[in-house]
Amino acid sequence: MVRITSWPRDWNPRERWEDFLALASIFLALVFTTLNPEPSMGLSALPRFIFWLAHILILLVLLHVAQVGLQRISGFNRLHAWVQVFVSGVSGTLLFTPVALMLEYLFFVDAALQDTAESFVHSLATEFGAVLPGSILVWFCLNATRLLRLPDHIAPDKPGASDPMNHFWRKVPDSLGRDLVALTAELHYLRVRTTEGDTLILYPFGRAVEELGDQGYRIHRSHWIAIEHLNCLERKGDRYFCRTDTGLRLPVSRSYLRTIRDACRS
């Protein structure tokens, strides 16, 4: 099974989505701490910062989890990118709503809610309605910022660069090595999996597949797998999956099935 990226590693919010979300969480927490909106009134500066950092960091993590989870649904991948962002935003907010209530009880900042006899379901519905607009706005802004920075074709490397993958590998942490296992498109980002772990970078999936050439196979509109790590083809009902020698399991589209079946037989 692919291991988690080793720590510590270089901090690079300009290239890695996880680092970008962490930086955004700190920035937004500082903004809300300064503005001190109604939910945090009554808290001093440090508890107020911790309150907002916990809210925003957990929210962004759950939005990201929802986005990645929904990407595993084939029908979801056919939606327009902005529809995907909206649906993942709503789903992530649903996951976050009970956490938000718990944080408010923990910090004793929602006295009105604690003093009422509202049912838990009603409290969840009220909290969801209050959190959703801000969550969607933030999620769209964060994704739009990255999307607008990703052109269809990234400028080529400087003259003299012999390896077309130089630009790609500069975005991947050295701690992950260079033994590539698979690539997965996640909206406008690229999940890079090596034998040492995985990371999310800003890079076009189509360009990476083209640059890798005969080093592997595209097995799905969103997945590519390296020849050296292709282990077997599995069937579950009417669906097919590729399994790597690292234990990774990725879906195979029918349009690529014959190629992968032949590769596994050879």
Same domain membership, residue 139 and residue 33? yes
Question: What radius of gyration do the chain's Cα atoms show?
Answer: 22
Residues 119 and 229 in one domain: no
C-alpha angle 7-12-13 in degrees, rounded to nearest 5 = 115
Q: How far is CA 1 from CA 216, 234, 245, 248, in A?
A: 19, 17, 9, 6
For the four alpha carbons of 48, 54, 60 and 66, in that order, the dihedral sign comes to negative
The answer to pTM > 0.75 is no
Same-domain status, 48 and 110: yes
Task: Say how many domains are in the chain.
Answer: 2
Q: Residue 96: is it exposed, middle or buried by C-beta count within 10 angstroms (0-12/13-18/19+)?
A: buried
Angle 64-245-261 from CA coordinates, rounded to 5°: 95
Residues 70 and 188 in one domain: no
Domain-embedded: residue 136: yes
Question: Does residue 241 fall inside a structural domain?
Answer: yes
Task: Kindly report, residue by residue over 116-169, the tens digit of the pLDDT.
Answer: 445 778 888 988 999 999 999 999 988 875 555 444 444 444 444 456 678 888
Give the residue ranges of the chain where pLDDT is below 70.
1-12, 14-16, 74, 77-78, 108-118, 145-164, 187-188, 266
Sorted by sequence, the CB contacts under 8 Å of residue 99 that are 6+ apart come out as 58, 59, 62
144 and 197, same domain (yes or no): no
Residues 131 and 203 in one domain: no
| CATH number of 236's domain | 2.40.50.1020
Amino acid 188: pLDDT = 67
**Which structural domain, as residue segments, surrounds residue 245?**
166-265
Tokens standing for residue 155: 């400028």
Residues 174, 131 within the same domain: no
